A and B are shown apart, each in its own frame.
Chain A
Amino acid sequence: MKKRYLQQKIFYGLLLFCTLIVVAFVLGIILFLIIKGARAISFNFIFGSPENGMREGGIFPAILGTLYLMLGTIIFALPIGIFAAIYINEYAGKSKITRIIRLSIINMSGVPSVVFGLFGLGFFVLFLRFGKSILAGSLTLALMILPIIITSTEEALKSVSDTYRQASLALGATKWQTIYKVVLPQALPGIITGSVIGIGRAAGETAPIIFTVAAFSQPGLPKSIFDQAMALPYHLYVLATQVTNPPEDMQWGTALVLLLLVLFFSVIGSIIRVRQRLKKRELS
C-alpha cells in the first residue's frame, strides 16, 4: 500500500517537473528578451532609421512596414472570413459541402507558412504581376490567417441564440437583413477577438513575406501598396543571420519590440474573450 503511494508521489513529482520545464522556458525567454532588449529601447531606436549598416540607429521602417502589412492583411482577410463563416453557419446547413469546407479549413490551417510564401510568390507576385509589394504580402498573409478568422467568426455566430433569428424573420425581415442587422452585431466581440488574434499572428510571420514583400533595407519609406516594405520579423532575421557582427543590443531590442507587438494583440484578444464570457455568465 505504501509503495503505491510512493509511486504516486514520484510520478506526481515528474509531472510537475515537466510542467515546470515548459513554464521556465516561456518565462526564461520573456525575461531574457525584456532584460537584454530593454537596453536597446530608446526613442531613437523606435523612431529612427537603421544607420551604419544596420549596426546603429533604429528600426522605424521595419515597424511601420509591419503595421502596414497588418492593416493590409486584415482588410483582405476580415470580409472574406466573415462571409465565409456566414455561409457555413447560416446558409449551408449540414450538407456534404460543409463537410468538405470544414476539412479544407482544417487543412489550410495546417499548410506550412513557407508553402503560403511559395504560393504568394507564384500567384500574387509573378502570375498577377503585383511584384514584390505590400499588396502581395498582405494578400499572402490574409490567406494564412483566414482559417483563424473563419473559425472564430463561426463560433461567434453559433453562440447567437436562434430566438433572435426567428424573431427577426417573423417581423418580415429577409434572411440577409436578419444576419446583417441582428446576428452580426451580436457576434461582433467574437469576430473582433478572432481578427485581433489573426493580426497578431500575421505580424510575427516571416516565411510568407520573405519572397512577397520584405526588403533588406529601404531608407525611404514605402509610399504605395505596390512598394516593397521592411518588416520587423524579417529585419530580426537579417540582423541575426545576414549582417556581420551587428551589436547584440540591436538584435535583442528588435526581438523585444516584435514580441511586444504580437503579445499586445493577443492580450487584447484574450481580454475581449474573457469579458465576453463574464457577460454571458451574468446573463444566464
Chain B
Amino acid sequence: MVKFSSISLTLLIFIAIFPFAFSGCSKDSLTMNNSSTPEIPESKTEVSGKKFDGKTLVLTGSTTLLEVTNSWVEEFYKEYGGRITVNGGGSGEGIASLINGTTDIANSSRDIKDTEIQNAEENGIKILAIPVLYDGIAIVASQNIEVRELSIEQLSKIYTGEINSWSELGGPDKEIILFARDTNSGTGEYFLEEIIQMGKSKKENDYSQMTIRLNSNAEIVNNISDTDNCIGYIGLGFMKPDMNIISIKEEDLSQAVIPSVCTVKERIYPISRQLFIYVNEDNISEIARGYIDFILSEKGQDIGTEAGFVPVK
C-alpha cells in the first residue's frame, strides 16, 4: 500500500508539473489516459472498509469548488471514513490556511501567487499544486436577445457599463440588465480579472454600478429565463440546451467559440480555467493522499462532471 501511494504521488506531481500533458479531446487520448493510471481502480479494492476512521482531514478554500468538494467528501467518507471538515473561505483564505498549517488541503480556483509561494517558503512549506478539474464559464442572454456572438472586449464594455444598450450590439433598443456573481464568489473575481479587466491589462475596470449580484449559478439561470434583456454568466454544468448561449471571440476577428466540454478541455474556449488543490508537499497525510487519489479517480472525476466541471483526465 505504501508503495502504491508513493507511485500515485509521483504521478500526481507529474500531473502537477505538466498540467496540459493529459488534456485532449479525442477518444484515443482519453483511453490512453485511463490506461496510464491503472492504480486507481485497484486502490478501491485494496482499501475496502473504513480505512481512515479517526484520521482528520480539513479542506478550506475556493467557493467554486465548495459544492463539488462536499460531494467528493460525502462519497469518500462513505467508502473510507475519516473525520473530514469542509470549509469555504475562498482561494486566498485556503492558501493562507495551508501556509498557517490550519488546513490540510487548500482548494483554489486560481494559480498560486508569487507572494504566496514566497510566504510559504519562509514558513518552510513546499506547496504542491494538483489540477483537479477544468471550469468553463458560459455567457447566457435572455431568450429575446438575438445577439449570437461577442468578443471579450465587448463583454468587458458591457460589464463596465460602457455599452449599456442591446442596440449597440445589433439587438433591440433596450437597456442591458447585468447579472453577476456575488463579490465573494471566485467565479465573480475570475470574471472580473480575466474578462472585465481583460487579463489585468485594464486594472481600473470594475463591474458597473448597476450590476445585479446573485448568490449562485442557479439563481442566474432562473432569473435570466424569466426576464428579458438580461446577460449573465454561469458554470458550464448549468448550461441547458434551451438556453441562449452566446459564442465568444478572443479578438474581434478571431472565430467565435461555443462553450462545451470539448472546447474548454482543449482550451479553445476563451473563458476557462483550471481548478487546483494545493497541499504541503513534505507533509501529506495518508488520508489526504487517499482523498487526492479518490478525486482523481474515474469516480471522483465523474462527480466533478456531474457538478458541471470538465474532468482533467
A and B from one complex: yes
- A residues near B (Cβ < 8 Å) are 49-54, 131-132, 215-221, 223, 227-228, 241-245
| B287 CB to nearest A CB, Å | 11
**CB–CB B67/A244 < 8 A:** yes
| B255 CB to nearest A CB, Å | 31
Contact of A50 among B74, B84, B218 (CB under 8 A): B74
The docked-state distance in angstroms from the alpha carbon of A170 to that of B255 is 98
The docked-state distance in angstroms from the alpha carbon of A144 to that of B49 is 44
Instruction: Known A220-B83, A228-B87; judge A52-B67 contact (CB<8 A).
Output: no
**CB–CB B83/A53 < 8 A:** no
The docked-state distance in angstroms from the alpha carbon of A201 to that of B256 is 56
The docked-state distance in angstroms from the alpha carbon of A123 to that of B240 is 47
Residue of B with least CB distance to A216: B86
Residue of A with least CB distance to B215: A241
**Which residues of B75-89 have CB atoms within 8 Å of chain A's CB atoms?**
77-78, 81-88
Instruction: Known A244-B217, A245-B218; judge A216-B83 contact (CB<8 A).
Output: no
**CB–CB B216/A242 < 8 A:** yes
Of the listed residues A50, A219, A242, A243, the one surrounded by the most CB atoms of chain B closer than 10 A to its CB is A219
The docked-state distance in angstroms from the alpha carbon of A131 to that of B101 is 11
A-side contacts of B78, CB under 8 Å = 219
Q: Does any Cβ of A come within 8 Å of B73's Cβ? A: yes
The docked-state distance in angstroms from the alpha carbon of A131 to that of B87 is 13
Instruction: Known A52-B71, A54-B70, A244-B67; judge A217-B86 contact (CB<8 A).
Output: yes
Residue of A with least CB distance to B217: A244
Q: Does any Cβ of A come within 8 Å of B307's Cβ? A: yes
The docked-state distance in angstroms from the alpha carbon of A242 to that of B86 is 14
**CB–CB B74/A51 < 8 A:** yes
A-side contacts of B83, CB under 8 Å = 218, 220-221, 223, 227
**CB–CB A218/B84 < 8 A:** yes
**CB–CB B86/A220 < 8 A:** no
- B residues near A (Cβ < 8 Å) are 63, 66-67, 70-71, 73-74, 77-78, 81-88, 102, 215-218, 238, 307
Residue of A with least CB distance to B78: A219
| A59 CB to nearest B CB, Å | 14
The docked-state distance in angstroms from the alpha carbon of A227 to that of B63 is 21
Q: Which 5 A-B residue pairings sit nearest by Cβ, starting from the closest?
A: A219-B77, A220-B83, A244-B218, A53-B71, A217-B86
Residue of A with least CB distance to B52: A220
The docked-state distance in angstroms from the alpha carbon of A245 to that of B237 is 13
**CB–CB A132/B87 < 8 A:** yes
**CB–CB A216/B77 < 8 A:** no
Of the listed residues A132, A227, A228, the one surrounded by the most CB atoms of chain B closer than 10 A to its CB is A132
Instruction: Known A216-B66, A242-B215, A244-B218; judge A227-B85 contact (CB<8 A).
Output: yes
A-side contacts of B215, CB under 8 Å = 241-242
**CB–CB A244/B87 < 8 A:** no
Residue of B with least CB distance to A129: B102
**CB–CB B238/A219 < 8 A:** no
Contact of A216 among B87, B238, B307 (CB under 8 A): B87
**CB–CB A220/B81 < 8 A:** yes
15 contacts between A and B (CB under 8 A): A50-B74, A53-B74, A216-B87, A217-B74, A218-B84, A218-B85, A219-B77, A220-B83, A221-B83, A223-B83, A227-B85, A241-B216, A242-B67, A243-B67, A244-B218
Residue of A with least CB distance to B234: A244
The docked-state distance in angstroms from the alpha carbon of A255 to that of B238 is 27
| B189 CB to nearest A CB, Å | 17
The docked-state distance in angstroms from the alpha carbon of A141 to that of B82 is 29
The docked-state distance in angstroms from the alpha carbon of A53 to that of B83 is 17
Residue of B with least CB distance to A244: B218
| A271 CB to nearest B CB, Å | 38
**CB–CB B66/A52 < 8 A:** no
Q: With contacts A52-B74, A219-B77 known, what are 11 further pairs, Cβ within 8 A?
A: A53-B71, A53-B74, A132-B87, A215-B85, A217-B73, A218-B85, A220-B82, A228-B85, A242-B63, A242-B216, A244-B217
**CB–CB A219/B84 < 8 A:** yes
The docked-state distance in angstroms from the alpha carbon of A91 to that of B87 is 46
A-side contacts of B63, CB under 8 Å = 242
| B283 CB to nearest A CB, Å | 18
